[in-house]
Structure 1
């Protein structure tokens, strides 16, 4: 009851802020809402009288400014909504995609107290120097530069075991004080609003708003444990070990805890600083291609991708290497989802709309009672305008956006992992195009996509999977035969409680022998298949 009252007044404050920015269009279409709710929506704009007018701005810009004012939780909500073109429209989500969580810094004394409490040592023992002024401040954390001393071997002829010290430049990320409690309260409000929308707007149920909030809650929970971010960075560093064009900062695990993370400092220029990149003479066309290749390798090869690849999170070193930072938001895709995405995109780009529709049905994204032919027609309506353009103008991200816009007609449930991928693809594509407006996205992506599809979708891959399935089955065969043996024995005892005679034993032995013959046949078939696959 108390939470309900708190949520009501908090919602009133939120809606009043939306009214001041003329962003109440989010609440349009609440025909099924109770009278007092609709009445409240009518009078709320009166509270905006006397406020500056924002009508000259686009709707998405007005909404972004309102969310910025409402604070960190609502900034994250806006970023989550920036993938929902099916809910808000393409123009609005483009404005929300530019929503960046830059907030005023919190005092150095609070940052110092957090570091010392988390790492259980005085700041002076942990770092040789520590800059009091942060270099970046966002909704969840802020970053300070620091240096530390590290002992390294320095052998001499006189003393082979001699050592020396060197300064190591690092970046220290620190959570905002009280941020966990603030997010917890706002997430309760988001769940409450999502449940109201489900109740009063049945058409919204397919959008799975409660699921969207659940994913937002999971994402925020991971972001507020910096050990998880450090682990994500470490995992991606392993995936790209030895890559000549991409690297990840090194984590200092001895100076990392739940609310503090220390990593090597990136010595480079942010891709957001176009003037500095031009002045340094970097090949921006080559950099744009690297961005695409790195993104596709993360998605297709690893199934683990950086889900916030905007300009400010990407740097280029003096050697021309691309470096990513801020691994708080990551996406994962299992192999089946990656296979679906690759085949679906390839079908669109080759004009095979029937196959594009079929993979949606096979994946279970479109309900089986819907017409395959009608969905094929819808796919054609998206694909034909794209195929009519030069390949340099084909946007894979835009293709996904348009595809999700037809979801309501075909009752497609929202697939959160695909929405996150779509958002990341839009961002990565935008970064690449900002450095090279003439970039041929498909031409750059094709070698990576084609190679991956040949490896995972070609005849060799399918045959290898068949062999693997057979070998997995073989590992289970002894247990299957043993269980069959016990089952037959139990049946025999139930039928002849007094015991078995010679004939009964023959029946049982015959059944066991049949099982052995069956097992041998399976083994022979798998071995033969493996021989054919490896020799043809």
Structure 2
């Protein structure tokens, strides 16, 4: 009961913030919500009237605190819920809060690292260079004389997040219970994915590990660098890494004055993003201009690895084929990829889905190449989700948001360039290497080798089976038999009777010994 009362109080404070900023459009999905929004509209602050809906919502979330800033950034991936324009405005939501006192930062560093700040750092600047919802960053010089940046977790942020995430689960559960038509949007699953992401972001050791992994992935690439982690001065709430020197990627005039080539920078950004997603399956999911710099030699330098994402190999294949399908105007193939990936139920019409893809892609693809946004195009697929009973894929939402941010960076540098067209040769090369005949042969060989490697284990299991048969101790539940039969049918690789032939054959051989 206390939890419900606490959630209702927090909900009231959220309502006040949304009302003040005239951002109640989020609740207008039902008749009751529309009526409530209409009643509360006169209480909105007129100062926000000139802003777009997404900008008003971003301002309200900023006022509500750290968890809601993160929530707004996550919501920017849900064009299916808030529309393209609002999603675009939320993607610009700046993760900036007032800094917390330097004394608190020093106390956290000392407690986490087990030594006074003076013993760890020769110099530690009290004024932070950045203050965000989760942590803030101080410049320092280590006792060894190395210039570093020290990231310190915001005091009490874990408790505030736990309180707010409990509210999100409560609301998501009620929405799925009261609005069955919206269950396909998987609100509870999305809250769970959001919770996992932020929990990892609040343990700075995970961020350090992500940076180190990405540094390994790009160790041989001089065009994209990652600051080195100082593991001896890194813990749960403190992260120390090499201080970087560079120009923020959105300072176009400064970059040009320094002699950097904008097209070359966009090309490096496109190559880096492609390599993260398709080559490595591990990508920086927060590559906004504040986290991306250009070094003295024109190399890109990325910082802040609190939010990263992963894409398995099969999904990478689907994405690659989807991208090429849109770039080539092959909507039939785009539709086939969605069905093959299981994103669209098999009882739906593939031709109708291809037609739907064409309906929103053709107007975009008829524009000059530099005006085409592949990320926005993929986002618009959500507009047809209800018609085709598509379930939202939470694991792809972060990637779609990252593509939008990456595109925005490219367009700031040079609006006449389409970064995905620059990456197209890499995508085609990757597709050839991973989907061509030679790749399929290699996969078959690998599968065969794996089968041979598992043969001793199979023989061992067969011997145990025979022993159990001799002792009358082997019994299979009818459900287990049905699962084995159905599994064989689903695989489509072997007839359903083949496993039984193998078992009987091995049994006969072993009984003859």
Return the TM-score normalized by structure 1.
0.86
Mean Cα deviation higher: 348-357 or 18-27 = 348-357
Offset at 1:101? 1.2
Q: CA deviation digits over 1:351-401, x for unaligned, max 9?
A: 322221112111111112212221121122233334433433332112211
Q: How do 1:370-519 and structure 2 match up within 5 A?
A: 370-488=348-466, 491=469, 511-512=505-506
Q: Counterpart of 1:315 in 2: which secondary structure?
A: strand
Offset at 1:252? 0.2
Mean Cα deviation higher: 368-377 or 74-83 = 368-377
| Corresponding position of 1:112 | 106
Q: How do 1:362-377 and structure 2 match up within 5 A?
A: 362-377=340-355
* Residue of structure 1 aligned with 2:166, choices 174, 183, 188: 188
Is the alpha carbon distance of 1:146 and 1:449 closer, same or farther for their aligned partners in structure 2, counting shifts above 3 Å? Answer: same
Kept in 2: contact 1:30–1:200 (CA 8 A): no
Cα distance in 2, alignment partners of residues 382 and 392 from structure 1: 17
| Corresponding position of 1:502 | none
Q: How do 1:253-332 and structure 2 match up within 5 A?
A: 253-332=231-310
| Corresponding position of 2:494 | none
Q: Counterpart of 1:445 in 2: which secondary structure?
A: helix
Q: CA deviation digits over 1:36-69, x for unaligned, max 9?
A: x8876564446x26x4342221111111111111
Q: How do 1:150-189 and structure 2 match up within 5 A?
A: 150=144, 167-189=145-167
> Does the alignment pair 1:221 with 2:215?
no
Offset at 1:514? 7.8
| Corresponding position of 1:24 | 24
Is the alpha carbon distance of 1:124 and 1:491 closer, same or farther for their aligned partners in structure 2, counting shifts above 3 Å? Answer: closer
Cα distance in 2, alignment partners of residues 489 and 186 from structure 1: 57
Cα distance in 1, alignment partners of residues 472 and 292 from structure 2: 71
Q: Counterpart of 2:89 in 1: which secondary structure?
A: helix
| Corresponding position of 2:189 | 211
Offset at 1:275? 3.2
Is the alpha carbon distance of 1:459 and 1:11 closer, same or farther for their aligned partners in structure 2, counting shifts above 3 Å? Answer: same
Cα distance in 2, alignment partners of residues 107 and 513 from structure 1: 74
Cα distance in 1, alignment partners of residues 283 and 110 from structure 2: 32
Kept in 2: contact 1:30–1:201 (CA 8 A): no
Cα distance in 1, alignment partners of residues 8 and 41 from structure 2: 17
Q: How do 1:512-527 and structure 2 match up within 5 A?
A: 512=506
Larger Rg: 1 or 2?
A: 1
Q: Counterpart of 2:48 in 1: which secondary structure?
A: coil
Offset at 1:402? 1.6
Kept in 2: contact 1:331–1:420 (CA 8 A): yes
Cα distance in 2, alignment partners of residues 512 and 203 from structure 1: 52
| Corresponding position of 2:481 | none
Kept in 2: contact 1:174–1:260 (CA 8 A): yes
Cα distance in 2, alignment partners of residues 68 and 477 from structure 1: 59
> Does the alignment pair 1:97 with 2:75?
no
Kept in 1: contact 2:250–2:412 (CA 8 A): no
Cα distance in 2, alignment partners of residues 27 and 369 from structure 1: 32
Q: Counterpart of 2:149 in 1: which secondary structure?
A: strand
| Corresponding position of 2:7 | 7
Cα distance in 1, alignment partners of residues 102 and 137 from structure 2: 11
Q: Counterpart of 2:100 in 1: which secondary structure?
A: coil
> Does the alignment pair 1:201 with 2:179?
yes
Is the alpha carbon distance of 1:477 and 1:391 closer, same or farther for their aligned partners in structure 2, counting shifts above 3 Å? Answer: same
Cα distance in 1, alignment partners of residues 94 and 407 from structure 2: 18
Contiguous gaps of at least 5 residues in structure 2:
474-503
Q: How do 1:45-56 and structure 2 match up within 5 A?
A: 45=41, 48=43, 51-56=45-50
Kept in 2: contact 1:16–1:45 (CA 8 A): no
Q: Counterpart of 2:46 in 1: which secondary structure?
A: coil
Mean Cα deviation higher: 470-479 or 286-295 = 470-479
Q: CA deviation digits over 1:244-278, x for unaligned, max 9?
A: 20100000000000000000001111113233223
Kept in 2: contact 1:481–1:515 (CA 8 A): no
Mean Cα deviation higher: 452-461 or 37-46 = 37-46
Q: Counterpart of 2:98 in 1: which secondary structure?
A: coil
Cα distance in 2, alignment partners of residues 100 and 435 from structure 1: 19
> Does the alignment pair 1:77 with 2:55?
no
Q: Counterpart of 1:25 in 2: which secondary structure?
A: helix
> Does the alignment pair 1:339 with 2:333?
no
> Does the alignment pair 1:60 with 2:38?
no
Kept in 1: contact 2:104–2:155 (CA 8 A): yes
Alignment length (residue pairs): 481
Is the alpha carbon distance of 1:109 and 1:460 closer, same or farther for their aligned partners in structure 2, counting shifts above 3 Å? Answer: same
Kept in 2: contact 1:395–1:441 (CA 8 A): no
Return the TM-score normalized by structure 2.
0.89
Cα distance in 2, alignment partners of residues 273 and 493 from structure 1: 78
Contiguous gaps of at least 5 residues in structure 1:
151-166, 496-509, 517-536
